[in-house]
Structure 1
């Protein structure tokens, strides 16, 4: 978090934090990569990471 954002959060209470979170959420949804546009090899690697994560979660239960 930048110093300016931290200062806004302190001076304006929760409203600045709420605005920052809303802007971040909107940017994430707008700028989210479309999986269909990824190169096939990269998509394969991401799929493998998801499988590995799922297996790790199952083992940790």
Structure 2
């Protein structure tokens, strides 16, 4: 990957932090509900945000 400016790195860091927070929030929601359909939905959304995180992170390596 080409060298990134400080501003670009900061933006990437903000994106990673946002995705990490969404993963945690949807995991928490999945764990706190007893409704299986909601649990599955929240888990799926959490996994999608984890995939986003992984994708962004891989661009930094």
TM-score surpassing 0.5? Answer: no
Pick 1 or 2: higher relative contact order, CA cutoff 8 A, min separation 6. Answer: 2
With structure 2 as the length reference, what TM-score do the two structures score? 0.39
With structure 1 as the length reference, what TM-score do the two structures score? 0.39
Larger-Rg structure: 1
